[in-house]
């Protein structure tokens, strides 16, 4: 069963309080080389059957409309993983 992975991150210009908290914790643990942490979402969509270009385009639209909040987030990757992954990535 192929899986389409959609990755969504907060827009670069947006403050990421959760990311800041993790950055602070890492610094307190001595990991000072980590300059910044940002936290986004990773969606795995399991697909019945093959993933063709048409389905991938539909998922890109769904990603932009539903999976990401366009005001504060960007869809940064839509790719196929696993069986049926003909290296399709947009």
Name the site residues for a second copy (rule: CB under 8 A): 1, 7-9, 22, 25-26, 29, 31-49, 55, 58-59, 62, 66-67
Least distance CB 68 / a second copy (angstroms): 12
Instruction: Pick between residue 44 and residue 70 the one whose CB is nearest to a second copy.
Output: 44
Least distance CB 3 / a second copy (angstroms): 9
Least distance CB 88 / a second copy (angstroms): 15
The per-residue b/e assignment along 17-31, b for 16 or more CB within 10 angstroms, e otherwise, is eebeebbeebeeeee
Q: Which residue has the tokens 């947009």?
A: 90
Distance CA 43, CA 32 (A): 30
């Amino acid at each position: 069963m192929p899986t389409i992975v959609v990755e969504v991150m907060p827009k670069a210009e947006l403050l990421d309080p959760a990311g800041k908290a993790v950055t602070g914790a890492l610094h307190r643990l001595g990991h000072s080389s980590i300059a910044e942490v940002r936290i986004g979402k990773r969606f795995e969509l399991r697909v019945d059957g093959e993933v063709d270009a048409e389905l991938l385009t539909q998922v890109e639209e769904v990603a932009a409309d539903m999976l990401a909040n366009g005001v504060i987030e960007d869809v940064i990757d839509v790719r196929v993983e696993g069986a049926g992954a003909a290296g399709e990535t947009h």
